[in-house]
Chain A
Amino acid sequence: MTIRAITGLVALNVGFAVMGASFLWAVRGFARWSDALRLGGLGYLLGVAAFGTVWTQFLVLGLPFGGWGVILTLVGGTVAACLVGVRLGRSRPRGFAGLGPTSTASLLVTASGVALVGLLLEAFFRSARLQSLQAFDAWAFWVPKAKAIYFFGGLDEQVFTTSAGPTYPPLVPIVDAAAFHAMGSADTVTFHLQFWFLVTGAVVAIAGCLYRHAPAWALWPSILLVLVVPRFGERLMTPQADVLVDVLFVLGALLLALSLRDWRGWRLAAVAVLFAGATLTKREGLLYVGLALVVAFAASWSRKRVAWPALASVAAVVIAAAVPWRLWYRSHDIAGEAPPSLGAGAAFERALDSLRLSWNVLFDTSLWSVVPFVLVIALAIGLAWGDRRLAAFFAVLTILVFFGGAWVTYSYRDLPITENEALNPIVRYTGAIVVLAAAAMPLLVASAWTGNRERET
């Protein structure tokens, strides 16, 4: 709760952003500093995902986690990315031109959007700064795992095998442990701000990625709406993995969708890092990433010679990142994440009940306000008048994620058919569709508004 702890957190998160931005510069290059600024949020989340993914492998290998390890990883990652950038002939960014909106109306909408989002994030900051650790899952296993990494320097066998959720991947505990080192103690109050940084980074990332692809009047209302739905708000800072897995999945899906237009290599490199991070953040990450890649393979059928090898490379990176953690827990006699027999053999009535539950949760306005309704409208707009391939990508992905949620309830037969979050994860799971809406809606509406005219990247 001290300025020293907050300063440490700021330094850590700047470190994530610098490392991720260096990676982006290496794979993409920045013509201007304004490009670096615009994609700063994406760079930040790439830094978080890369840091967590690399440290998951290190911890599985038995390397000790400590303050110097955090610093060396961030500095080493930044230097390595810069060296790759130099090797690839990337030039230093110059000037700030090109960031401003093109018209007075656009400037006003952007200013209003930034002000309203900024005001909300400032209120979230104040609510998180002195927040006590209340969430059951947080003190039952997420934070004990983080404390174990912080105090014992690794995947402590007692804590990681006897706590609830032993198969849950360690990316969030790793980021939490890095936050403890940055703050100078296992301060479970101030560390809520780490989740504020993640939420802020996600907002900046989505806005930055869409800035040149969607008009301000479509972009900022979509982001604002998702931030203020009843289920989110300040709950976005709950120190669990649900929001981060949603954000990494959605940003990866957004970059995949944009790739459908031009297959730019840098986007797929970023997707690989984000998706690798998602699979190591939460078990659902595997399902989300698998679905997104399947849809991307199908959507790129007509360009399969170019697209499929690139997508296969992304899948290979994700698998290589996800496997070691699974080997670690299996080597400690912990059963796998998949449901028994993948759910085969359960009663047909249970399938119908699971579907009905997913439907009721998705369209529950007391949870998600009107987000699912306006997402459906935006998908219809995109399919009718916009970029149909893009709209089909988001539509099929949304439907598959929806059915994925129903499958989770159906196949884990010990889960009761209920919206009670303590008993069934369907509400938290559905959050991914709502976050996806924030990224998909501006693109879909914009593609229809501009008459399917492809915008310059």
Chain B
Amino acid sequence: MRAAGIRGLVIAYWLGVVLVAIVVRYPDTFHDANETARANASLDLSDRELGGGNSVVPDQGLMIEARGRIPLDGTFAVAVGERQEGWTDLTATFAETYARYYLLPRRAAPNAPWILCFACDRAAFPEAEAVWEGEDGLAILSLPR
């Protein structure tokens, strides 16, 4: 009888702790999900489309223009130069990783006819023509075919 009482008390304690934790956490979780939904709905199409790229690529135009100009079966290279004022800590390190994701099925290749230039040394591509130029040293270069 006494053992059954202790068992009941311990189970009641377990249930009490669980219920109190739910009472504390549930409103916050529900509120956070609603806030995220609201924030997501207020994003413009480009912000939503680029997602994590907004923290990597200083000018959204670069990726959007690259998608429009490089054919689906085309290839591109990423050339990164000196860090510029508008860049984030992620730009130089992860620009190529992000471009590989965002521009698929376009592939990255070392001698590609399209170059995503992040303040790159343009003298290294003497025949290249800048088909798009943005801020913070960003450009899309095209090599003659």
Q: Could you tell me which A residues sit within 8 Å of B by CB distance?
A: 116, 119-120, 123-124, 126-127, 129-136, 138-140, 143-144, 147-148, 151-152, 158-159, 163-164, 186, 188-189, 217-218, 221-222, 224-225, 227-230, 233-234, 369-370, 373-374, 377-378, 380-381, 384-385, 441, 445, 448-449
B121 shortest CB reach to chain A, Å: 24
B28 shortest CB reach to chain A, Å: 8
List CB contacts (< 8 Å) of B32-61 with chain A.
32-34, 36-37, 40-41, 43, 47-53
The DSSP consensus for interface residues of chain A is helix
Q: Is B36's CB under 8 angstroms from A127's CB?
A: yes
Closest partner residue, chain A, to B20 (CB atom): A370
Q: Is A229's CB under 8 angstroms from B51's CB?
A: no
The DSSP consensus for interface residues of chain B is helix
Cα separation A159 to B107 with both chains bound (whole Å): 9
Chain A residues within 8 Å of B52, by CB: 132-136, 138-139
Q: Could you tell me which B residues sit within 8 Å of A by CB distance?
A: 3, 7, 10-11, 13-15, 17-19, 21-22, 24-26, 28-30, 32-34, 36-37, 40-41, 43, 47-53, 94, 97-98, 100-102, 104-105, 107-108
Q: Which of B19, B37, B108 has the most CB of A within 10 A?
A: B37
Chain A residues within 8 Å of B25, by CB: 225, 228-230, 369
Cα separation A126 to B26 with both chains bound (whole Å): 17
Chain A residues within 8 Å of B29, by CB: 120, 227-228, 233-234
Known: A158-B108, A370-B21. 14 other contacts (CB 8 A): A120-B26, A129-B37, A131-B36, A132-B48, A132-B52, A134-B51, A139-B51, A140-B101, A147-B105, A159-B100, A228-B29, A230-B28, A381-B14, A445-B15
Chain B residues within 8 Å of A227, by CB: 29
Q: Which of A127, A152, A218 has a CB less than 8 Å from the CB of B105?
A: A152
10 contacts between A and B (CB under 8 A): A120-B26, A130-B37, A135-B52, A140-B101, A228-B28, A369-B24, A377-B14, A377-B17, A380-B10, A384-B10
A296 shortest CB reach to chain B, Å: 26
